[in-house]
């Protein structure tokens, strides 16, 4: 019972930080590009550079374990992660680092509302990869949701001209669109891959271990982007960029840089945490479910256009979300009914 309550608390916490990161991260990145920011590798770097905040919950976990094991007169290890999971986390970090670049590149040339709708197609790819990699069971409702979300994102590609940013060419829009789709596909691949790693791991997966894997992942992804920044000459340009930033140099460092790093860390912590608490598909569904809120915030804060094709895409996406959750509720009902029937049958057999 205590474990169930703890898992419920973890689910709630991860949902909250995922919501903050999933909605706030794209808005902060777009804020950077809207006000004079041009360094794509630097924007990619910010998405995982907030990882040192993970050290705080890890320190609390260590002190808790140390107090408990001190009473049992056993030695407390500083980290739980072992070499196989460490190497797996390094691979995840490289993939995430590249994915960050793809996403930042797309967001440099797309409105947040368009980018978010494209990212909603991630659920379709997550479902596909989850089916092959972790044998995720599909229902007609799940398939319907995947199809609707894919159609919703695809409808945006039909009318590119009306959605371009000021002074943006059609080529830049198409490249940004393609980069965002590639980012969605790659992250959709990473989610089931993480779940598969949890299942195949030779050591017990705890939430502390998940945090340690997340720390390694983010450090590697950040280093990957640092190399890109060095190669692209970002460090030479950042001081000038801060001086010329439309909102001012102080807001450039305090709001755009620091705040962006912290908010994006919430997204990665929440998405990886939900894989631990549920599954990669549930994590993908939650990421997509937050789409309408991101849409509304982008229109409110950035005065982005909301053309007919976006309305159609949003409608199809919401329909897909409803279909998925309705199917999930029906599956849970059927499962409980079957368990009740099986229990009744066992009681009858034992009496006989």
The arithmetic mean of pLDDT across residues 93-97, rounded, is: 96
Query: Is 352's pLDDT higher than 90?
Result: no
Q: Provide the pLDDT for residue 320.
A: 76
Euclidean distance between CA atoms 183 and 192, whole angstroms: 15
Model pLDDT for residues 189-210, shown as the tens digit of each residue: 998 999 899 989 888 888 899 9
Model pLDDT for residues 135-178, shown as the tens digit of each residue: 777 778 777 877 776 676 666 555 545 556 666 677 888 888 89
**Of 248 and 335, more confident:** 248
Q: How many domains does the chain have?
A: 1
Model pLDDT for residues 285-310, shown as the tens digit of each residue: 778 777 767 777 877 887 766 667 76
Q: Provide the pLDDT for residue 164.
A: 60
Query: Which range among 46-55, 234-243, 306-315 shows the weakest confidence by mean pLDDT?
Result: 306-315
Q: Provide the pLDDT for residue 4.
A: 66
Mean pLDDT of the chain: 83
Euclidean distance between CA atoms 216 and 219, whole angstroms: 5
Which range of residues forms the domain containing residue 294?
A: 2-351
The arithmetic mean of pLDDT across residues 321-349, rounded, is: 75
Helix (H) or strand (E) holding 25: helix 2-34
The arithmetic mean of pLDDT across residues 316-326, rounded, is: 76
Q: Provide the pLDDT for residue 281.
A: 76
Residue indicated by tokens 């991630």: 122
Query: What would the DSSP string read from start to end of 190-231?
Result: HHHHHHHHHHH-SS---HHHHHHHHHHHHHHHHHHHHHHHHH
**Of 325 and 176, more confident:** 176
The arithmetic mean of pLDDT across residues 91-98, rounded, is: 96
Q: Provide the pLDDT for residue 43.
A: 94
Helix axes 140-154, 122-133, angle to 10 degrees: 140
Query: Is 120's pLDDT higher than 80?
Result: no
Query: Is 47's pLDDT higher than 90?
Result: yes
């Amino acid at each position: 019972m205590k474990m169930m309550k703890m898992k419920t608390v973890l689910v709630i916490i991860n949902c909250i930080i995922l919501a903050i990161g999933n909605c706030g991260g794209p808005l902060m990145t777009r804020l950077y590009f809207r006000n004079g920011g041009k360094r794509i590798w630097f924007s990619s770097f910010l998405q995982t550079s907030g990882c040192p905040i993970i050290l705080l919950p890890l320190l609390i976990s260590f002190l808790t374990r140390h107090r408990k094991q001190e009473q049992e007169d056993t030695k407390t290890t500083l980290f739980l992660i072992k070499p196989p999971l460490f190497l797996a986390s390094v691979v995840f970090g490289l993939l995430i680092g590249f994915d960050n670049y793809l996403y930042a590149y797309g967001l440099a040339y797309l409105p947040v509302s368009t980018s978010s709708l494209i990212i909603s197609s991630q659920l379709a790819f997550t479902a596909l990869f989850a089916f092959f990699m972790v044998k995720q069971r599909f229902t007609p409702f799940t398939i319907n949701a995947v199809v609707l979300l894919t159609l919703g994102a695809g409808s945006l590609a039909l009318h590119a001209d009306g959605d371009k940013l000021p002074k943006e060419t059609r080529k830049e829009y198409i490249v940004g669109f393609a980069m965002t789709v590639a980012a969605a596909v790659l992250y959709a691949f990473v989610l089931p891959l993480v779940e598969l790693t949890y299942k195949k791991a030779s050591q017990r997966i705890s939430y502390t271990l998940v945090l340690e894997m997340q720390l390694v992942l983010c450090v590697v992804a950040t280093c990957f982007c640092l190399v890109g920044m060095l190669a692209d000459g970002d460090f030479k340009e950042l001081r000038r960029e801060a001086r010329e930033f439309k909102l001012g140099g102080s807001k450039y460092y305090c709001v755009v840089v620091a705040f962006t790093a912290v908010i994006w860390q919430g997204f990665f912590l929440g998405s990886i945490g939900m894989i631990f608490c549920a599954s990669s598909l549930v994590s993908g569904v939650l990421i997509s479910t937050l789409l309408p809120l991101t849409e509304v915030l982008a229109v409110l804060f950035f005065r982005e256009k909301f053309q007919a094709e976006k309305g159609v895409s949003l409608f199809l996406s919401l329909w897909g979300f409803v279909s998925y959750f309705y199917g999930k509720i029906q599956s849970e009902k059927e499962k409980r009914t079957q368990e009740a029937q099986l229990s009744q049958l066992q009681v009858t057999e034992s009496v006989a």
